[in-house]
Protein backbone atom coordinates (compact mmCIF):
# COMPACT_ATOMS: atom_id res chain seq x y z
CA UNK A 1 0.00 0.00 0.00
CA UNK A 2 2.86 2.37 0.80
CA UNK A 3 4.16 2.32 -2.75
CA UNK A 4 0.69 2.86 -4.13
CA UNK A 5 0.25 6.06 -2.10
CA UNK A 6 3.80 7.06 -2.88
CA UNK A 7 3.12 6.80 -6.61
CA UNK A 8 -0.11 8.75 -6.32
CA UNK A 9 1.53 11.42 -4.22
CA UNK A 10 4.49 11.70 -6.54
CA UNK A 11 2.31 12.28 -9.61
CA UNK A 12 0.23 14.90 -7.84
CA UNK A 13 3.43 16.52 -6.58
CA UNK A 14 4.98 16.53 -10.05
CA UNK A 15 2.15 18.73 -11.28
CA UNK A 16 2.37 21.07 -8.29
CA UNK A 17 6.10 21.34 -8.90
CA UNK A 18 5.69 22.29 -12.58
CA UNK A 19 3.30 25.07 -11.64
CA UNK A 20 5.26 26.18 -8.59
CA UNK A 21 8.27 26.82 -10.82
CA UNK A 22 6.50 29.69 -12.53
CA UNK A 23 5.72 31.42 -9.25
CA UNK A 24 9.21 30.98 -7.93
CA UNK A 25 11.07 32.06 -11.09
CA UNK A 26 9.07 35.25 -11.42
CA UNK A 27 9.45 35.99 -7.73
CA UNK A 28 13.18 35.34 -7.94
CA UNK A 29 13.58 38.08 -10.51
CA UNK A 30 10.85 40.62 -9.80
CA UNK A 31 10.14 39.92 -6.10
CA UNK A 32 6.49 39.79 -6.94
CA UNK A 33 3.83 37.05 -6.84
CA UNK A 34 2.15 36.61 -10.19
CA UNK A 35 -1.36 35.83 -9.03
CA UNK A 36 -2.50 35.33 -12.62
CA UNK A 37 -0.24 32.28 -12.91
CA UNK A 38 -3.03 29.86 -11.95
CA UNK A 39 -5.25 31.29 -14.66
CA UNK A 40 -2.54 30.77 -17.23
CA UNK A 41 -2.61 27.08 -16.43
CA UNK A 42 -6.36 27.13 -17.00
CA UNK A 43 -5.90 28.77 -20.41
CA UNK A 44 -3.21 26.19 -21.13
CA UNK A 45 -5.64 23.37 -20.37
CA UNK A 46 -8.30 24.81 -22.71
CA UNK A 47 -5.85 25.47 -25.55
CA UNK A 48 -4.42 21.98 -25.08
CA UNK A 49 -7.86 20.41 -25.22
CA UNK A 50 -9.01 22.38 -28.25
CA UNK A 51 -5.85 21.72 -30.21
CA UNK A 52 -5.86 18.05 -29.25
CA UNK A 53 -9.43 17.67 -30.52
CA UNK A 54 -8.50 19.57 -33.67
CA UNK A 55 -5.42 17.46 -34.46
CA UNK A 56 -7.11 14.24 -33.51
CA UNK A 57 -10.21 14.64 -35.67
CA UNK A 58 -12.24 11.44 -35.56
CA UNK A 59 -9.27 9.13 -35.16
CA UNK A 60 -9.73 6.23 -32.72
CA UNK A 61 -7.20 5.80 -29.88
CA UNK A 62 -3.79 4.87 -31.20
CA UNK A 63 -0.43 6.27 -32.19
CA UNK A 64 -2.01 9.22 -33.98
CA UNK A 65 -4.01 10.35 -30.95
CA UNK A 66 -0.88 10.29 -28.83
CA UNK A 67 1.04 12.22 -31.45
CA UNK A 68 -1.83 14.75 -31.62
CA UNK A 69 -1.59 15.10 -27.87
CA UNK A 70 2.15 15.82 -27.95
CA UNK A 71 1.50 18.39 -30.66
CA UNK A 72 -1.28 19.92 -28.54
CA UNK A 73 1.08 20.23 -25.56
CA UNK A 74 3.58 22.10 -27.72
CA UNK A 75 0.92 24.43 -29.16
CA UNK A 76 -0.49 25.17 -25.71
CA UNK A 77 2.95 25.74 -24.17
CA UNK A 78 3.89 28.12 -26.99
CA UNK A 79 0.56 29.97 -26.74
CA UNK A 80 0.90 30.42 -22.98
CA UNK A 81 4.53 31.47 -23.29
CA UNK A 82 3.40 34.35 -25.51
CA UNK A 83 0.43 35.06 -23.27
CA UNK A 84 2.74 35.26 -20.25
CA UNK A 85 5.12 37.63 -22.02
CA UNK A 86 2.21 39.74 -23.23
CA UNK A 87 0.71 40.02 -19.74
CA UNK A 88 4.08 41.02 -18.31
CA UNK A 89 4.57 43.69 -20.95
CA UNK A 90 1.09 45.17 -20.62
CA UNK A 91 0.17 44.74 -16.96
CA UNK A 92 3.41 44.47 -14.97
CA UNK A 93 6.23 46.20 -16.78
CA UNK A 94 4.69 49.70 -16.58
CA UNK A 95 4.43 49.21 -12.81
CA UNK A 96 7.98 48.02 -12.26
CA UNK A 97 8.99 51.15 -10.39
CA UNK A 98 5.66 51.61 -8.62
CA UNK A 99 5.06 50.46 -5.05
CA UNK A 100 5.21 46.71 -4.49
CA UNK A 101 1.46 46.52 -4.03
CA UNK A 102 0.60 47.93 -7.47
CA UNK A 103 1.76 44.98 -9.63
CA UNK A 104 0.14 42.61 -7.13
CA UNK A 105 -3.23 44.29 -7.65
CA UNK A 106 -2.62 44.31 -11.38
CA UNK A 107 -1.99 40.55 -11.22
CA UNK A 108 -5.26 39.96 -9.38
CA UNK A 109 -6.97 42.00 -12.09
CA UNK A 110 -5.38 39.93 -14.84
CA UNK A 111 -6.47 36.79 -13.01
CA UNK A 112 -10.12 37.91 -13.10
CA UNK A 113 -9.86 38.98 -16.74
CA UNK A 114 -8.52 35.57 -17.73
CA UNK A 115 -11.06 33.50 -15.80
CA UNK A 116 -14.02 35.68 -16.79
CA UNK A 117 -12.73 35.81 -20.36
CA UNK A 118 -12.62 32.02 -20.42
CA UNK A 119 -16.18 31.83 -19.06
CA UNK A 120 -17.35 34.29 -21.71
CA UNK A 121 -15.55 32.57 -24.58
CA UNK A 122 -15.97 28.92 -23.64
CA UNK A 123 -18.86 28.88 -21.16
CA UNK A 124 -18.91 27.93 -17.50
CA UNK A 125 -19.74 24.27 -18.05
CA UNK A 126 -16.74 22.00 -17.70
CA UNK A 127 -15.44 20.40 -20.86
CA UNK A 128 -13.99 16.94 -20.88
CA UNK A 129 -10.40 16.43 -21.94
CA UNK A 130 -10.28 12.90 -23.42
CA UNK A 131 -7.31 10.71 -22.68
CA UNK A 132 -5.12 10.34 -25.75
CA UNK A 133 -4.49 6.72 -24.77
CA UNK A 134 -6.22 3.83 -23.08
CA UNK A 135 -6.01 4.74 -19.39
CA UNK A 136 -6.50 1.27 -17.92
CA UNK A 137 -4.18 0.95 -14.91
CA UNK A 138 -1.15 -1.28 -15.26
CA UNK A 139 0.06 -3.42 -12.38
CA UNK A 140 3.76 -2.90 -11.74
CA UNK A 141 5.10 -4.79 -8.75
CA UNK A 142 1.77 -4.70 -6.95
CA UNK A 143 1.26 -1.00 -7.61
CA UNK A 144 -1.58 0.07 -9.87
CA UNK A 145 -0.37 2.90 -12.06
CA UNK A 146 -2.33 4.52 -14.86
CA UNK A 147 -0.71 5.56 -18.15
CA UNK A 148 -1.82 9.09 -17.19
CA UNK A 149 0.32 8.88 -14.05
CA UNK A 150 3.26 7.57 -16.04
CA UNK A 151 2.83 10.49 -18.43
CA UNK A 152 2.85 12.96 -15.54
CA UNK A 153 5.96 11.42 -14.01
CA UNK A 154 7.86 11.31 -17.29
CA UNK A 155 6.86 14.78 -18.49
CA UNK A 156 7.45 16.54 -15.18
CA UNK A 157 10.78 14.77 -14.64
CA UNK A 158 12.03 15.68 -18.13
CA UNK A 159 10.91 19.30 -17.84
CA UNK A 160 12.47 19.77 -14.42
CA UNK A 161 15.79 18.25 -15.48
CA UNK A 162 15.86 20.36 -18.64
CA UNK A 163 15.02 23.52 -16.71
CA UNK A 164 17.68 22.81 -14.10
CA UNK A 165 20.30 22.20 -16.79
CA UNK A 166 19.24 25.36 -18.61
CA UNK A 167 19.51 27.54 -15.51
CA UNK A 168 22.76 26.01 -14.26
CA UNK A 169 24.69 25.50 -17.46
CA UNK A 170 23.64 27.82 -20.27
CA UNK A 171 24.67 31.41 -20.86
CA UNK A 172 21.06 32.65 -20.74
CA UNK A 173 20.23 30.53 -17.71
CA UNK A 174 23.15 32.00 -15.82
CA UNK A 175 22.10 35.47 -16.92
CA UNK A 176 18.70 34.69 -15.42
CA UNK A 177 20.29 33.76 -12.09
CA UNK A 178 22.50 36.84 -12.20
CA UNK A 179 19.46 39.03 -12.84
CA UNK A 180 17.63 37.52 -9.90
CA UNK A 181 20.66 38.13 -7.65
CA UNK A 182 21.37 41.74 -8.65
CA UNK A 183 19.59 43.52 -11.47
CA UNK A 184 21.82 46.59 -11.71
CA UNK A 185 24.98 44.53 -11.82
CA UNK A 186 23.42 42.25 -14.43
CA UNK A 187 22.85 45.36 -16.56
CA UNK A 188 26.49 46.32 -16.08
CA UNK A 189 27.45 42.95 -17.57
CA UNK A 190 25.50 43.89 -20.69
CA UNK A 191 22.58 41.59 -19.86
CA UNK A 192 19.32 42.85 -21.31
CA UNK A 193 17.24 42.54 -18.16
CA UNK A 194 13.95 43.18 -19.97
CA UNK A 195 14.59 40.22 -22.22
CA UNK A 196 15.49 38.04 -19.26
CA UNK A 197 12.23 38.99 -17.55
CA UNK A 198 10.24 38.18 -20.70
CA UNK A 199 12.02 34.84 -20.96
CA UNK A 200 11.21 34.06 -17.33
CA UNK A 201 7.51 34.68 -17.91
CA UNK A 202 7.63 32.61 -21.11
CA UNK A 203 9.22 29.59 -19.41
CA UNK A 204 7.01 29.80 -16.31
CA UNK A 205 3.84 30.10 -18.37
CA UNK A 206 4.79 27.25 -20.71
CA UNK A 207 5.38 24.99 -17.70
CA UNK A 208 2.01 26.06 -16.27
CA UNK A 209 0.32 25.19 -19.57
CA UNK A 210 1.74 21.66 -19.42
CA UNK A 211 0.73 21.38 -15.76
CA UNK A 212 -2.77 22.57 -16.69
CA UNK A 213 -3.12 19.95 -19.40
CA UNK A 214 -1.93 17.20 -17.08
CA UNK A 215 -4.54 17.99 -14.41
CA UNK A 216 -7.35 18.67 -16.88
CA UNK A 217 -7.69 14.94 -17.61
CA UNK A 218 -8.84 14.47 -14.02
CA UNK A 219 -10.64 17.73 -13.39
CA UNK A 220 -11.87 18.64 -16.91
CA UNK A 221 -11.54 22.19 -18.25
CA UNK A 222 -13.49 24.99 -16.56
CA UNK A 223 -12.79 28.69 -16.05
CA UNK A 224 -11.71 28.48 -12.40
CA UNK A 225 -9.62 25.33 -12.90
CA UNK A 226 -6.46 27.21 -12.00
CA UNK A 227 -7.63 28.62 -8.71
CA UNK A 228 -7.12 25.82 -6.22
CA UNK A 229 -4.23 24.17 -8.04
CA UNK A 230 -2.55 27.54 -8.55
CA UNK A 231 -2.95 28.36 -4.89
CA UNK A 232 -1.47 25.03 -3.84
CA UNK A 233 1.45 25.38 -6.23
CA UNK A 234 2.01 28.79 -4.67
CA UNK A 235 2.03 27.13 -1.27
CA UNK A 236 4.56 24.62 -2.59
CA UNK A 237 6.77 27.44 -3.91
CA UNK A 238 6.70 29.31 -0.60
CA UNK A 239 7.26 26.15 1.45
CA UNK A 240 10.23 25.21 -0.73
CA UNK A 241 11.68 28.69 -0.41
CA UNK A 242 10.28 31.20 -2.86
CA UNK A 243 12.77 32.29 -5.48
CA UNK A 244 14.60 28.95 -5.31
CA UNK A 245 14.04 26.65 -8.29
CA UNK A 246 15.07 23.42 -6.59
CA UNK A 247 12.96 24.50 -3.63
CA UNK A 248 9.87 24.78 -5.80
CA UNK A 249 10.42 21.27 -7.18
CA UNK A 250 10.94 19.88 -3.69
CA UNK A 251 8.00 21.82 -2.24
CA UNK A 252 5.66 20.61 -4.99
CA UNK A 253 6.58 16.96 -4.61
CA UNK A 254 6.46 17.18 -0.82
CA UNK A 255 3.01 18.74 -0.91
CA UNK A 256 1.72 16.04 -3.25
CA UNK A 257 3.08 13.28 -1.04
CA UNK A 258 1.80 14.81 2.20
CA UNK A 259 -1.66 15.36 0.78
CA UNK A 260 -1.89 11.75 -0.37
CA UNK A 261 -0.46 10.26 2.80
CA UNK A 262 -2.58 12.56 4.95
CA UNK A 263 -5.73 11.10 3.49
CA UNK A 264 -4.47 7.53 3.27
CA UNK A 265 -2.59 7.08 6.52
CA UNK A 266 -3.81 9.72 8.95
CA UNK A 267 -7.34 8.99 7.77
CA UNK A 268 -8.15 12.63 7.20
CA UNK A 269 -11.41 12.77 5.23
CA UNK A 270 -10.96 13.49 1.52
CA UNK A 271 -12.86 16.75 1.88
CA UNK A 272 -10.23 18.16 4.22
CA UNK A 273 -7.37 17.24 1.91
CA UNK A 274 -6.75 20.85 1.03
CA UNK A 275 -6.62 21.82 4.68
CA UNK A 276 -3.47 19.75 4.94
CA UNK A 277 -1.72 21.82 2.29
CA UNK A 278 -2.28 25.02 4.13
CA UNK A 279 -1.62 23.59 7.57
CA UNK A 280 1.76 22.43 6.28
CA UNK A 281 2.49 25.85 4.89
CA UNK A 282 1.82 27.46 8.25
CA UNK A 283 3.93 24.84 10.04
CA UNK A 284 6.90 25.21 7.72
CA UNK A 285 6.75 28.97 7.85
CA UNK A 286 6.60 28.93 11.65
CA UNK A 287 9.71 26.79 11.87
CA UNK A 288 11.56 28.14 8.84
CA UNK A 289 10.09 31.44 7.64
CA UNK A 290 12.30 31.49 4.54
CA UNK A 291 11.05 28.07 3.35
CA UNK A 292 12.93 24.79 3.10
CA UNK A 293 15.69 25.91 0.72
CA UNK A 294 15.15 29.65 0.90
CA UNK A 295 17.72 32.09 2.11
CA UNK A 296 16.98 34.61 4.76
CA UNK A 297 16.59 37.90 2.94
CA UNK A 298 18.96 40.54 4.06
CA UNK A 299 17.50 44.00 4.06
CA UNK A 300 19.15 45.91 1.28
CA UNK A 301 20.36 49.36 2.18
Partner 1 sequence: MGELLTIDNISVDYGAIRALKSVSMHVNEGDIVCLIGANGAGKSTLLKSIVGLVPLSEGEIKYKGELISSVKHKVSTDNIAKRGIALVPEGRRVFADMTVEENLDMGAFLVKDPAVIAKRKKEMYEFFPILEARKKQKTRSLSGGEQQMMAIARALMSAPTLLLLDEPGLGLAPLIVQEIFRKITLINKENNLTVFLVEQNARMALKNSTEGYVMENGNIVLEAPSKDLLVNEKVKRAYLGS
- What are the residues whose beta carbons fall under 8 Å from the beta carbon of 219, sequence distance 6 or more? 126, 225
The answer to the question of residue 292 lying near partner 1 (CB under 8 A) is: no
The answer to the question of residue 165 lying near partner 1 (CB under 8 A) is: no
CB atoms closer than 10 angstroms to residue 197 = 22
The answer to the question of residue 184 lying near partner 1 (CB under 8 A) is: yes
Complex with partner 1: residue 81 or 196, whichever CB lies closer: 196
The answer to the question of residue 185 lying near partner 1 (CB under 8 A) is: yes
Cα distance between residue 28 and residue 92, in whole Å? 15
Compute CA distances 118 → 121, 147, 235, whole Å.
Answer: 5, 29, 25
The answer to the question of residue 187 lying near partner 1 (CB under 8 A) is: yes
The answer to the question of residue 181 lying near partner 1 (CB under 8 A) is: yes
- Give the 3-state secondary structure percentages of the chain, helix then strand then coil, rounded to 5: 75, 5, 20
The answer to the question of residue 193 lying near partner 1 (CB under 8 A) is: yes
The answer to the question of residue 5 lying near partner 1 (CB under 8 A) is: no
Closest to 207 in 3D by CA, of 165, 175, 159: 159
* Window contacting partner 1 (CB under 8 A); options: 77-85, 116-124, 171-179, 271-279: 171-179
The answer to the question of residue 77 lying near partner 1 (CB under 8 A) is: no
Cβ 191 vs Cβ 175: under 8 Å: yes
The answer to the question of residue 178 lying near partner 1 (CB under 8 A) is: yes
x/- track of binding to partner 1 for residues 207-236 (CB under 8 A): ------------------------------
Cα distance between residue 44 and residue 21, in whole Å? 15
* Window contacting partner 1 (CB under 8 A); options: 12-20, 125-133, 138-146, 172-180: 172-180
Question: Helix, strand or coil for residue 145?
Answer: strand
The answer to the question of residue 191 lying near partner 1 (CB under 8 A) is: yes
| 144 beta partners | 139
Residues lying near partner 1 in the complex (CB under 8 A) are found at 171, 174-175, 177-178, 181-182, 184-193, 295
Amino acid sequence: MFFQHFTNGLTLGGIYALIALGYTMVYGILKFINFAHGDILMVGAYIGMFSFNFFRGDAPLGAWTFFSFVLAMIVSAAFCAFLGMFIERVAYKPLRHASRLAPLLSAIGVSFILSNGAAWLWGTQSKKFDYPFDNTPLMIGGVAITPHQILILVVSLILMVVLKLFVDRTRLGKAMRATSLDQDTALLMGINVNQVISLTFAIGSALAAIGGILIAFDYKCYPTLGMMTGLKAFVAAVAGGIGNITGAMLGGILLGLLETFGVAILGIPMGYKDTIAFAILILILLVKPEGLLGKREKEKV
